[in-house]
Chains A and B, each alone.
Chain A
Amino acid sequence: MHALDWIVLMLTLTGVVFYGIRKSKTTRDLDGYFRSNQNLSWGLVLLGIMGTQASAITFLSAPGQGFTDGMRFVQYYFGIPLAMIVISAFFVPRFRQWNVITAYEYLEHRFDGKTRTLTSLLFFLQRGLSTGISIFAPSLILSSLLGWNIYWTNLFMGGLLIIYTLSGGARAVAYTQQLQFAIILLSMFLAGYLLVHLMPEQVGFVDALDISGKLGKLNVITDGMTAKGFNWGDNYNIWSGIIGGFFLALSYFGTDQSQVGRFLTGKSVRESRLGLLMNGLVKIPMQFLILLVGALLFSYYSFERAPLIFNQVQEERIQRSAYRDSFQLAQVRYDSFQSIKRRVATEYVQAGGQGSVQASLLIPKLQQAQTEADAVRKQVKGWLNDRVPGGDGNDTNYIFIRFVLDHLPAGLVGLLIAMIFLASWGSIAAAINSLAACSMVDLHNRFAKYPAEGEQAYRLSKWYTLGWGVFCIVVAMFTYNIGNSLIEAVNILGSLFYGVILGVFLVALFIPVIRNATAVFWGLIIGELIVLGVFFSGYFFPDRFKIGFLWLNPIGAGAVVVFSLLLSVRMGQKNPRQVTGIDKLS
């Protein structure tokens, strides 16, 4: 990396840390530390929600997805606006009415302590581990491409943010997320602009889109239908996006404390609601633009030489393996198909592109060259996945950053790397803050003989923040040793629990007739067993029973609702206190 990149990187990161410390002033109690005294405007709530959801992998992976699979990934976000409406109309007023610090606190008002503790523990398990992964994943990418030591990278990725998260709690998290998001959007805009600018002179923006579209990358809307009917294993089509995505977004934004903790900082119900609703308005266009960068990147590499494998470490690994000669032959074939593609793409643009009859005659040739090049890439990735020791053929997350390092000017490279750190910090800081909130409110103060208050609770919360920060870094360090299996396991873990937790909240908010807390508790357990059954059926019999992970959310939520209802009818309405949790606003 150039010296200028180091200067930009260091200045940006230290600037954000100092800004976070400066914005740390709150009252020294739980309300100040975890809810910023509920005094933030909707703009800060919005950026907090967006900054928490968008991790570094979002900005690395989405352009890579656009490059490899096309823009259909945007459909994954179609459920968000609908979920924002439901959360804004039903979740926010209930949480605010009960003046809760954590979402799970509400479940005790509505049901009982064991339901609250169980959902809170599921949150610890899922969020604690996945935060460790979200430190590790971008660290691995940067250390692979820049030759940095992975342990030090993990430490910087997960360590510096602890300084301001510890000092200012939710308020520092919100203000830094605002600054981080501005830097992230600026960096992405500059990268996208330069990408178009770096294309050959005769290739304009529309030409670039056209090439990308003809080669199947602008497939924004897909219906999931195949010759055999609807493909339930496909995660990214309009139906899984709207239905599965709705339940996932409802669960993530409405019941995951890392998000609930953001909108509870709003200075009124109105500010919390506006933050959420604005998120529903801007999220899809923003993701569309990030994916568009990937589609444009694909066009860029239709005119420039593209690496066969974007992760250099994996390329070196295969060069040192028994597949060295095969790889070199594959490279020659890949280069020849690319050179055909380059020539045909240039002819296509020169012939007038979209709408030109002469140009349209070239499309089959272009598609043929792309299919051949894809086949070579698939073969090499297969070797890396199955046969090269320590190999990993999935290079989707490396595509965008490799372009940045190879083709962008000094200074901007530093800014883009700072962007990766900042995107990570935004979501990790919110996660650590919310984990500390649950530890303090749902466990410590719930089970301690003498619950902490005021200054003492504030100081203890800082210790919990530090503890979770260290825990997540340790998980990141271990992930390096354990490898991809842990990342996959943690990703799966999230989709296994989200649906059932949502089911409990749906019962709490929408079915006042269910008053028996024990029925809901067992409904949750049975719902989880059903989700596990569906998941493992797909895992062990992928040919006969494959189902996309997005569908596990409605299945889990539906199972909890149905079984809670059945069990409450069977058990009767025993527990009178929970009625208060729903009736106030009815």
Chain B
Amino acid sequence: MKQQSTSESYTGWYLALVVVLAVLIFLFQQFTSFFA
């Protein structure tokens, strides 16, 4: 059975995704209120 390494850390990536989502929601909120 193929065993693959899973030890590499992806915490930075996961954090980046959460931050990007938060930033996008913030920007979308600003966009919505600016043109409302």
Contacts and interface: CB of A to CB of B under 8 A. Distances in A.
Interface of A: 74, 78, 81-82, 84-85, 88-89, 93, 96-99, 209-210, 212-214, 218-221, 238, 268-270, 273, 277, 280-281, 284-285, 288, 354, 585
A84 B17 contact: yes
Contacts of B35: 209-210, 212-214, 218, 354
Interface string B1-36: 111111010100110111011001100110110111
B31 A85 contact: no
Among A88, A89, A220: residue with most chain B CB under 10 A: A220
B6 A218 contact: no
Nearest to B5: A269
Contacts of A78: 21, 25
Contact of A99 (B2, B13, B31): B2
A270 B14 contact: no
B25 A238 contact: yes
Interface of B is mostly: helix
Contacts of B29: 220-221
Among B2, B21, B24, B35: residue with most chain A CB under 10 A: B35
B28 A85 contact: no
A84 B20 CA distance: 13
Given A209-B35, A220-B28, A97 B17 contact: no
7 contacts: A97-B3, A97-B6, A214-B36, A219-B32, A269-B4, A269-B8, A585-B6
A225 B6 CA distance: 43
A269 B6 contact: yes
Contacts of A268: 4-5
Contacts of B14: 85, 88-89, 277
Given A82-B21, A88-B10, A213 B36 contact: yes
Contacts of A281: 16-17, 20
Contacts of B16: 281
Contacts of A354: 35
Contacts of A81: 17-18, 20-21
B2 A96 contact: yes
Contacts of A221: 25, 28-29, 32
A93 B6 contact: yes
Contacts of B1: 98-99
A93 to B, nearest CB: 4
Given A89-B10, A97-B3, A218-B32, A280 B17 contact: yes
A220 B20 CA distance: 16
A268 B3 CA distance: 10
A288 B36 CA distance: 17
B20 A218 contact: no
A85 B36 CA distance: 33
B29 to A, nearest CB: 5
B27 to A, nearest CB: 9
Among B13, B29, B34: residue with most chain A CB under 10 A: B13
Given A85-B14, A214-B36, A288-B28, 18 more contacts: A78-B21, A81-B21, A88-B13, A93-B6, A96-B2, A96-B6, A97-B3, A212-B35, A213-B32, A218-B31, A218-B36, A219-B32, A219-B36, A221-B29, A268-B5, A273-B13, A277-B14, A284-B24
A85 B17 contact: yes
Contacts of B25: 78, 221, 238
Contacts of B24: 284-285
B1 to A, nearest CB: 5
